[in-house]
Amino acid sequence: MDPLVLSKREKHKLATQFADLCLTCGTCAGGCPVTGVDDMDVRKAVRMVVLGLEQELVDSRFPWVCTLCGRCEYACPMGVDILAMLRSARGKRARDKVPGVLHKGVAMCLKTGNNVGIPKDDFLFLLEDLAAELSEELPGFTVPVDKKGAKILITVNSKEPFGEPDDMKYWWKILYAANESWTTTSENWEGVNWGLFTGDDESMKEIVGRIVENYKKLECEYLLLPE
Ligand code: SF4
Ligand code: SF4
């Protein structure tokens, strides 16, 4: 194993006590792509925890401006576990106070199997329609749905069937050219897990579990997520 990777992991094991580890050096904020956006300063976010202002951090914009890219944590000389800190702050926000449509998307996904609530019949109709269009260019093309034994299970970013359906054709053209064995599913096909982004572990697990269930049921070998 790469010794650098190991040493980073070892550092992370020590990084549970922010108060004891943070040097206030500012390296995290220096490399953060959103420093200054809505007054974002990740060093301040760490200091808030250090000073016992957890609730103030939960109520602040900091956890939501963060993209969870991980640059701060990678650069931190003390290995402070900044990502877990910011994500857990998201998770502690009351669900009706989660910004934007994120929590509504999670609730919709739990209810319907995708973030925007596309009914199963509409989804299948759309796939069939797009496949028919594409077959004029790619002879014999169809979209395999719920195909047992396919090599790759492909989940779908709901924004594509919802707003940019033709984008799916680009994936399909590559799969066709590669003569790949693949399938998608008629239910629980959403590949964008907003439970991850909102710090909602229970919903995240449920949504992942549904994909795993599809994957096992169809006996696929690989899983492809669009995000
Ligand atoms: S890089 Fe690490 S040690 Fe430096 S201010 Fe940020 S959290 Fe603290
Ligand atoms: S994980 Fe968040 S706080 Fe850290 S560098 Fe990325 S955007 Fe900035």
Same domain, yes or no: 136 and 67: no
Same domain, yes or no: 87 and 111: no
Same domain, yes or no: 80 and 11: yes
**Ligand 2 atom, smallest distance to 31 CA:** 5
Same domain, yes or no: 79 and 113: no
Q: How many domains does the chain have?
A: 2
Same domain, yes or no: 165 and 128: yes
Instruction: Confirm whether 25 is domain-assigned.
Output: yes
Instruction: Confirm whether 97 is domain-assigned.
Output: no
Domain boundary among 59, 92, 125: 92
Cα–Cα dist 166/75, whole Å: 39
Pull the structure tokens for residue 15.
């990084």
Residue with CA at minimum distance from ligand 1 atom 7: 22
Pull the structure tokens for residue 122.
């509409």
Same domain, yes or no: 40 and 110: no
Same domain, yes or no: 23 and 86: yes
Per-residue model confidence (pLDDT) at position 52? 85
Of residues 112, 130, 128, 125, the one with CA closest to residue 189? 112
Q: Are 73 and 39 in contact (CB under 8 A)?
A: no
Same domain, yes or no: 88 and 148: no
**Ligand 2 atom, smallest distance to 67 CA:** 7
Same domain, yes or no: 145 and 194: yes
Residue with CA at minimum distance from ligand 2 atom 8: 32
Same domain, yes or no: 10 and 113: no
Same domain, yes or no: 81 and 158: no
Pull the structure tokens for residue 130.
């797009």
Per-residue model confidence (pLDDT) at position 19? 55
Residue whose CB lies within 8 A of the most ligand 2 atoms, among 18, 44, 64, 72, for a mutation test: 72
Cα–Cα dist 85/11, whole Å: 16
- The list of the chain residues with pLDDT below 70 reads 1-20
Structural domain that includes position 181: 102-224
Same domain, yes or no: 143 and 172: yes
Per-residue model confidence (pLDDT) at position 18? 61
Ligand 2 binding pocket includes 68 (Cβ within 6 Å): yes
